[in-house]
Structure 1
Amino acid sequence: MSLLAIMTPRTRLLTTSGDANLASLRSVFSQARFQHVPVVDSMDRVVGIVSVKDYFKELSPLMEAAGEQAIGLMMRTRKVHQVMSTPVITVLPDTSVRQAASLLVENNISCLLVADPQQRLLGLVSWKDLMKAALLAKPGKPAQPPP
């Protein structure tokens, strides 16, 4: 089975740009149903990924010591490209579930961005997607994507 069958397609993902500020990223995370947001350029090519963990790691040193104004200023001036992870491990849609699982474990990450050969974003597959596929698989038969 390939990732195409189990990934969340691009049309259901929220993305951000590297030049967006952290205040806008907060809004994206509140709307997204994922813990990761792909960062794309104007051609929808993958340039990075930012997680909720990255976001809070950036804010946590300020939360105790800084006032509301200082935090607001930092949220408006700090850019996504300053906190995103890059380079990103991307895979092609015909990558097998087994290969994807191996990449997650080897790189200690929780999702992969699925892209075409030009690095245009096609979707996202998380460890939860891989677990669902494994659980739904019948012995000797490939797993079917969830409805």
Structure 2
Amino acid sequence: MAVLVVEHVPGEGPYAIGPALDAAGLRTRLCRVWAGDVLPESLVGIEALVVMGGPMAAHSDDGIFSAGLLDHLAEPAAALREWARVVRPGGTLLLFHPSGRAERAARHGRPPSPDDPLAEPNLRPMLTAGGWRTEEYDDARAYFLTRAVRTG
């Protein structure tokens, strides 16, 4: 399996995610749109997709969809603040994972960690401090979904 990294402008690169992917034993496939590389017709063999969009202006986007990312970041609160900078007031943040926290923890042979950034007592204050208002928090067995709206 591989991770497809799509670069839109020169010099974006996968930055810190590159060494993390290497450490996880995932090979990276690079598509440089700016250099004329053609996106693959099929994503067979691609386990994940990283789209590099370059620097984004403040309040330039209507929303962000993050799947299975926040709990893997060294500084999840910083990511929430940066996403709030980019999303216009009233915009939406969706945090998603195709399995709930308890199911993921069970797959690793442990109970859910109280330190998990996706645990409701941790996530709600981080969202609020980052400029978001939590509208929905659903940590179901089959999925995790939090929907927040950009304040300000």
TM-score higher than 0.5: no
TM-score range, shorter chain: under 0.3
TM value normalised by structure 1: 0.22
TM value normalised by structure 2: 0.22
**Which is strand-richer, 1 or 2?**
2
**Which is helix-richer, 1 or 2?**
1
